[in-house]
Structure 1
């Protein structure tokens, strides 16, 4: 059985006439007759009894019509889904991003994308750069937003933005009134830093070491939100990337580090663009556009 013959058969049963089926399907009447004859020969049964110009469906034909109708609807659904996936209106996208870019820049992009493509199954995770890179490499993730991977991993990396480290301080802190903070200003303070696996912690330590000044009293905190809340409680100062969205109005401010070249490149990492689905490519484009707009506004 082929699908064209089943489609012709379904039309003949539904319309009760070969000629009407031919008109609907835009076939020649002889084509309809030939397809039905081939279908009957393939099944070894008569599907119709001819009654003049009308056709009456046999018992076998009635059963086949029920099954064929379900099958044709399923095929139609399959065709539509495949078409939607090819257009980026269906399918699945699984990616991950580091904080705080995930919440500060990507949340609104994801919301806008999903509003226009509600059938796409989106999974967004928040993780560290090393974990994201490893999972992109093993194809668990379609792409990631993180720091650059090592060259030997053979992954594609497109830089999006450059982030600078700053110091989060309570508005009442003596240093809050300064335009920028020097590393020497932090001596003797309680400094809140992320865990050792965080790229911002790594950046902080690699840029601070040449200066030769390492705060004596530092506390590891696994969340920028918790650092934010601890600063709000006037407990220590936090080492964070320069995002105005991390500041708490009336409670905290972020000042740039003046004497440290603490810059981190963040971008899109993926394995092979030819393996990416259309929806994935469209979402990556939306993220690129959002980062370009943010960069142009900051300039």
Structure 2
């Protein structure tokens, strides 16, 4: 069945007259008549009974009118959805970012994006760099925000910014009065660090390995937020990225290192930009503009 013929049929029944249907659809009356005849021939039934200039809908016609109305609305919905996906106003976006970039840099951008594109179904996850790269490669994620992936993943990487590590501590800690902290200043302290798979933990270990051995101990904590909360109550220190948003006024401060410069480049990873939807590309552009 031709959708145009169904649309013409729906208009004929709704308006009760072929001529009125032709005027609404901007067809010649003969075109309306021809489309109805072809539709009847295709279905093998009469949809109208002609009574002079009047047409009466048959039982089959009444049933078809109900179903055609539903179908035409569905087609219109499909057209609108496809159009929204093509323009970036609809569709789905799946991405992940490492912490604390997710909360400190991306949260406001994503919230603004959702406000501007309310019909986009967006999923934002927080994970580690390697799991993000693995899921982008497998197609589970459209893109990710993380450190440079291994070459074996064969992903494109666009650098965005660099994160530098510092020392977080309570404002009353003796080291808090210093502008910079040397690794040797941590001697005798317990240093809170992330888990071994975390890019920041790896960065810390690489940097410290290049200095003289210093007698401090490390405690693994799986969350920067937990490190933050622990330092509010403890005399230990934590190694964290230097984000002012992680500091707590009157409670916690972050100081840079003086003798090491642990910096890690971070950016967008994706598999093939030609396969990315418009909505995904718009979000990536918003993140690039940070």
TM norm. shorter chain > 0.5: yes
Aligned residue in 2 for 1:181:
181
2:209 aligns with 209
| Alignment correspondent of 2:8 | 8
**Aligned-pair CA distance for 1:212:** 2.7
Aligned to 2:17: 17
- Give the 3 Å change call, closer, same or farther, for CA 254–18 of structure 1 in structure 2: same
- Secondary structure of 2:289's aligned partner: helix
CA RMSD, Structure 1 to Structure 2 (Å) = 1.0
Cα distance in 1 for partners of 2:215, 2:27 equals: 83
> 1:183·1:213 contact (CA, 8 Å) conserved in 2?
no
Cα deviation, residue 215, structure 1: 4.7
Does structure 1 residue 285 correspond to structure 2 residue 285?
yes
8 Å Cα contact 2:134-2:153 kept in structure 1:
no
Runs of 4+ with deviation above 4 angstroms: none
Per the alignment, residue 54 of structure 2 pairs with 54
Matches within 5 A, 1:28-177: 28-177=28-177
TM-score by length of 2: 0.98
Residue matched to 2:270: 270
Deviation at 1:216, TM superposition (A): 3.0
Give the whole-Å Cα distance in 2 for the aligned partners of 1:30 and 1:21: 11
Gaps of 5+ in 2: none
Asked whether the 8 Å contact 1:137–1:271 carries over to 2, the reply is: yes
**Aligned residue in 2 for 1:293:** none
Shift of the alpha carbon at 1:223?
0.6
Q: Structure 2 CA distance, aligned partners of 1:215 and 1:24?
A: 87
> How far apart are the structure 2 equivalents of 1:6 and 1:260?
74
Query: After the TM superposition, which of the residue ranges 191-200 and 143-152 deviates more from structure 2?
Result: 143-152
Q: Is residue 2:222 matched to residue 1:222?
A: yes
CA contact (8 A) 1:96 1:143 kept: yes
| SS of residue paired to 1:175 | helix
Alignment deviations for residues 182-210 of structure 1 (CA, whole Å, 9 cap, x no partner): 11111111111000000000000011101
Structure 1 gaps, min length 5: 291-299
Instruction: Evaluate the alpha carbon distance shift between residue 51 and residue 196 of structure 1 in structure 2; reply closer, same or farther with a 3 A threshold.
Output: same
